[in-house]
Amino acid sequence: MFNLIYSSSDMFKSARKSFFIIGSLLIFLGGAGILLPNALSMTIEMFLGWLMLSGGFLWAWYTYQWRRTLVNNWLKPMILIAGGMLLLVFPVTGIAAITLMISFYLIIDAFGSFALALQHRPLSGWFWMVLNGLLSLALALILLWGWPVTSPIYLGIIVGISLFFDGLTLFILGLVMKIE
């Protein structure tokens, strides 16, 4: 039947292979974002706009089907629809808003990387997690420093750099993992 119990060496082999594959894909996506920053910025903005708009309509349908009598049940779908429409109608302003949100995300990501590095400190490769956290923190500060004027270029470049180094970190962790 199914073998639900893996030996530790099987788990390391599987994790190592996943680190290589996911790391390589992230390196490719990050490189594309660095080379085409305006395209990545606009793609992020449009994707989020359509996602919010679609989610708003789905919530509106749900509310209409099951909870249409209370006015406060319509608040969430209307906010999602309005936010999605604003992003689609005013993409440059949307990019500035998303850039601000991404900078806050990168700050949180940096501290998450620091926490993971502390948890994995005795293992080889923990320093790469610290380096990834420092890079995320530096990218967040760069975004905040030039905001909102530099948002269209910086958003694509910085998301690309972040993806690239996340991928590089996973790839290097795959290289340094030892199978015991």
pLDDT number for residue 1: 44
With respect to residue 95, please indicate whether it lies within any of the assigned structural domains: yes
User: Does residue 4 surpass a pLDDT of 70?
Assistant: no
In angstroms, the CA 54 to CA 59 distance is 9
- Confidence band (pLDDT; 50, 70, 90) for 2? very low
Tens digits of residue pLDDT in 87-138: 999 999 999 999 999 899 999 999 999 998 888 777 777 888 899 899 889 9
Range of lowest pLDDT (27-41, 82-96, 135-149): 135-149
Range of lowest pLDDT (11-20, 103-112, 152-161): 11-20
φ/ψ (deg, to 5) at 179 = -95, 120
pLDDT number for residue 6: 47
- In this prediction, residues 32-44 reach a mean pLDDT of 93
With respect to residue 9, please indicate whether it lies within any of the assigned structural domains: no
With respect to residue 81, please indicate whether it lies within any of the assigned structural domains: yes
With respect to residue 142, please indicate whether it lies within any of the assigned structural domains: yes
In angstroms, the CA 180 to CA 25 distance is 27
- Confidence band (pLDDT; 50, 70, 90) for 13? low
Query: In the chain, how many domains are there?
Result: 1
With respect to residue 4, please indicate whether it lies within any of the assigned structural domains: no
| Cα separations in angstroms, 140 against 134, 135, 143, 151 | 10, 9, 5, 12
User: Does residue 39 surpass a pLDDT of 90?
Assistant: yes
> With 0-12 CB in 10 A as exposed, 13-18 as middle and 19+ as buried, what is 87?
buried
- Confidence band (pLDDT; 50, 70, 90) for 180? very low
Domain span including residue 55: 20-176
User: Does residue 3 surpass a pLDDT of 70?
Assistant: no
With respect to residue 114, please indicate whether it lies within any of the assigned structural domains: yes
With respect to residue 7, please indicate whether it lies within any of the assigned structural domains: no
With respect to residue 160, please indicate whether it lies within any of the assigned structural domains: yes
The residue that leads in pLDDT, 7 or 107, is 107
Chain mean pLDDT for the chain:
87
